[in-house]
């Protein structure tokens, strides 16, 4: 009944370690030594044309996402500012990912983090995506199937595994499914959601690197978030194994649960230079069930649940039916004043509808290209033409469409460029249809039962500055510039993933003691430069630094370590730039002298009756505290200044004691531990 998901070409796995804690130290970039330079030919200099998209922010005045002011998703006020995404991320919160689990960990901020961790995480993060990420692909190269998910669900009362084939056979046109099979379908859908749906939280930049960065078979959802950037990614085939049959939807339709990208209750979002498509499950490939296409997709990019202040620029939407809806439902009156969206320089190829359909929002649509090819005709049937409309004026919406280019396979369908869905206003100016200026609003109103007014309630120029390209140039400009893989992404300081750093330490060089205070030194003598280095101690990330990449210059990094107790510490450095990561060999440091050396106690004044106890530390790590005991009872405590390898000298004046025998003992301590001095016994006569 369904086509299996595609199996992408396998890529060589690369090591990753995704943990996030913050720490930093000073960095220095050193010139390459003569010995290193002579070892081999110098590495290729970086491609100066590449741009690090991870640190780029939304240009000033670029649509609603650049707006500053109050927005109120779900009627909760929030102050919005122009989108910067994760540009301010600390070095520890920069990731390069090429597997589904790595992506989930990066968005959650910790390995194995939950969806709520990702949803509510507000720590600025930059996540670079390389290659193809696919949640259906197991680590051993085999694939999860819809049937495998369904088999985990038992039909209530029947005791048999759920099957969509059984579900389809049990119902039919005009019948809304119910009962145990529908309950099982819902349960199977929930299992799929845990596997393929991923939330994105606030202050995130998610970018693809190169021209092949893809997320396939997954649904990404920006939820309850603000300040998010998604760029240079192909988001493909958010495939629903278990769509729901709705007999009352326009005579019956299969409805799916997943968008390639959705924006829920989120504000200040920029989606740019990305490609959205149905992958191997294009509309014409879907079987017909109950007389309707067995639809396994929902939207390509939907903006709902009171989301606001979104700019969609230079994206390519390919051959999809319900492409882009803005607004959840007519009944959500709390969305009034929300759903402000700008769409410019996007390419819409062979879409069926929703380019966009709007509820409540003030939406600016300018300099976009809408094109149809033979694929639009191929996806149509006699009773159900694939193309329905581009701009849908829904309840209380206000669309301003300026200088857009439209290419139709059927010129007679110009009256369907606009559709009314309960809206009252829409302004469309300077629209080019098949190379000719056409008043598409007049074409719609000529046959509409309820015409739309061109007197809109708002003006884009009052919200942000913008400049229109000449409409006759739009098609060429957009075809040349829209979609993923157009931007030269990466970093100007390197051309591929960094080389591996060599790790060393300077423990004992200052005092001759392995005292737990030292520096971990990392040097890159050969290979492409890194932009971030992360230091792991015994498998835990403890520090990270940014570097200026300037291949073929050598790179040198120092991490200050202090307060380590006696023991063994394994260090490795993970170096990354937008293209990938490298991992150093493990370097081991053995700390043997962290606790204070053993002090020497002495007593004077026994015969005179004026007793003084002295503690001297002649060798070893200094102490920061001294405690003296008389017969096991503390009688003196002093703070000391540590200045290893200097000696330490402490004096306690006891004074006069009654005749008898007394034992004095002392303990010298620092942060790493305590060391007892040999006791001294005195007899007072």
Q: Which residues lie below 8 Å from residue 436, measured CB to CB, with a gap of 6+?
A: none
Q: Which residues lie below 8 Å from residue 42, measured CB to CB, with a gap of 6+?
A: 552
The three-state secondary structure class of 59 is coil
The three-state secondary structure class of 443 is helix
- Is residue 292 part of the annotated active site? The answer reads no
Q: Which residues lie below 8 Å from residue 3, measured CB to CB, with a gap of 6+?
A: 280, 281, 285
Following CA atoms 175, 181, 186, 190 in sequence, which dihedral angle do they give, to the nearest 10 degrees?
-150
- Which 8-state DSSP code applies to residue 538? T
Closest by CA to 600, choosing from 585, 619, 578, 582, is: 619
**Chain-centre distance of CA 622, in angstroms?**
46
Following CA atoms 358, 364, 368, 373 in sequence, which dihedral angle do they give, to the nearest 10 degrees?
10
Distance of alpha carbon 404 from alpha carbon 431, whole angstroms: 5
Distance of alpha carbon 574 from alpha carbon 469, whole angstroms: 45
- Determine phi and psi for 184, rounding to 5 degrees: -70, -40
Asked if residues 247 and 289 have their Cβ atoms less than 8 Å apart, the reply is: no
Residue 252 vs residues 44, 244, 295: alpha-carbon distances, Å: 60, 11, 12
Asked if residues 60 and 466 have their Cβ atoms less than 8 Å apart, the reply is: no
> Following DSSP, what letter does each residue of 229-260 receive, concatenated?
EEES-EEE----SSPEEETTSTT-EEE----S
Distance of alpha carbon 103 from alpha carbon 133, whole angstroms: 8
Write the secondary structure of 275-307 as one string of H (helix), E (strand) and C (coil): EEECCCCCHHHCCEECCEECCCCCCCEEEECCC
Asked if residues 333 and 302 have their Cβ atoms less than 8 Å apart, the reply is: no
Q: Looking at the chain, how many residues does it have?
A: 685
Q: Which of 332, 340, 354, 572 is catalytic?
A: 354
> Which tokens go with 185?
């379908």
Closest by CA to 409, choosing from 441, 381, 434, is: 434
Q: Exposure string (b/e) for 628-665, b if CB count within 10 Å is 16 or more?
A: bbbeeeeebeeebebebeeebebebebeeeeeeebebb
Closest by CA to 317, choosing from 257, 372, 242, 267, is: 372
On the question of a cis peptide bond just before residue 246, with omega within 30 degrees of 0, the verdict is no
> Which tokens go with 118?
């990702």
Reported as type and span, the H/E element at residue 478 is: helix 471-481
Residues involved in catalysis = 354
């Amino acid at each position: 009944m369904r086509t299996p998901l595609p199996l992408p070409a396998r890529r060589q796995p690369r090591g990753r370690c995704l943990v996030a804690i913050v720490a930093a130290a000073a960095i220095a970039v050193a010139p390459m030594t003569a010995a290193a330079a002579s070892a081999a030919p110098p590495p290729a200099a970086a491609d100066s044309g590449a741009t690090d998209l991870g640190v780029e922010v939304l240009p000033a005045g670029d649509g609603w996402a650049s707006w500053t002011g109050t927005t109120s998703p779900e009627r909760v006020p929030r102050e919005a500012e122009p989108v910067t995404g994760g540009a301010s991320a600390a070095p520890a919160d920069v990731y390069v990912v090429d597997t589904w689990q790595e992506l989930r960990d990066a968005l959650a901020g910790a390995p194995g983090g939950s969806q709520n961790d990702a949803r509510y995480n507000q720590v600025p993060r930059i996540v670079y995506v390389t290659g193809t990420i696919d949640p259906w692909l197991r680590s051993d190269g085999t694939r999860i199937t819809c049937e495998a998910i369904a088999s985990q669900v038992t039909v209530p009362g029947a005791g048999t595994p759920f099957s969509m084939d059984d579900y389809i056979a049990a119902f039919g046109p005009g019948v809304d499914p119910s009962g145990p099979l529908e309950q099982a379908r819902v349960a199977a859908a929930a299992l799929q959601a845990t596997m393929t749906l991923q939330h994105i939280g606030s202050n995130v930049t998610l970018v693809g690197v190169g021209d092949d960065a893809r997320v396939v078979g997954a649904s990404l959802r920006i939820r309850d978030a603000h300040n998010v950037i998604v760029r240079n990614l192909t988001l493909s085939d958010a495939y629903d194994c278990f769509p729901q049959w709705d007999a009352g939807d326009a005579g019956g339709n299969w409805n799916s649960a997943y968008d390639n990208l959705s924006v829920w209750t989120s504000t200040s979002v920029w989606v740019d230079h990305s490609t959205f498509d149905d992958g191997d499950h294009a509309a014409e490939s879907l079987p017909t069930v109950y007389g309707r296409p067995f639809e396994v997709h929902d939207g390509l990019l939907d903006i709902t649940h009171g989301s606001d202040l979104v700019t969609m620029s230079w994206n390519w939407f390919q051959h999809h039916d319900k492409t882009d809806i803005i607004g959840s439902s007519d009944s959500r009156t709390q969305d009034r004043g929300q759903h402000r969206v700008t769409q410019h320089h996007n390419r819409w190829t062979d879409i069926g509808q929703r380019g966009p359909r709007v509820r409540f929002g003030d939406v600016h649509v300018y300099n976009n290209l809408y094109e149809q090819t033979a694929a639009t005709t191929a996806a149509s049937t006699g009773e159900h033409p694939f193309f329905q409309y581009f701009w849908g004026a829904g309840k209380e919406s206000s669309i301003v469409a300026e200088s857009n280019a439209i290419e139709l396979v059927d010129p007679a369908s110009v009256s369907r460029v606009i559709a009314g869905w309960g809206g009252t206003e829409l302004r469309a100016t300077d629209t080019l249809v098949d190379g000719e200026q056409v008043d598409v609003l007049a074409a719609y109103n000529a046959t509409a039962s309820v015409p739309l007014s061109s007197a809109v309630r708002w003006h884009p120029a009052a919200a942000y500055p913008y400049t229109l390209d000449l409409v006759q140039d739009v098609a060429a400009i957009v075809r040349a510039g829209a979609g993923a893989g157009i931007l030269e992404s990466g970093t100007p300081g390197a051309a591929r993933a960094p080389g591996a750093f060599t790790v060393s330490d300077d423990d004992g060089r200052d005092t001759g003691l392995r005292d737990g205070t030292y520096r971990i030194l990392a040097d890159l003598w050969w290979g492409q430069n890194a932009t971030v280095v992360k230091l792991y101690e015994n498998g835990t990330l403890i520090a990270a630094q940014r570097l200026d990449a300037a291949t073929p210059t050598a790179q040198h990094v120092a991490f200050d370590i202090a307060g380590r107790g006696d023991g063994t510490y394994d260090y490795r450095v993970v170096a990354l730039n937008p293209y990938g990561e490298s991992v150093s060999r493990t370097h081991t440091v053995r700390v043997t002298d962290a606790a204070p050396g053993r002090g020497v106690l002495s007593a004077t004044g026994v015969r005179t009756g004026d007793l003084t106890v002295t503690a001297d530390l002649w060798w070893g790590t200094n102490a920061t505290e001294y405690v003296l005991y008389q017969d096991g009872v503390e009688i003196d405590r002093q703070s000391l200044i540590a200045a290893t390898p200097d000696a330490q000298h402490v004096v306690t004046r006891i004074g006069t004691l009654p005749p008898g025998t007394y034992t004095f003992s002392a303990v010298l301590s620092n942060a790493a531990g305590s060391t007892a001095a040999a006791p001294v016994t005195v007899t007072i006569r």
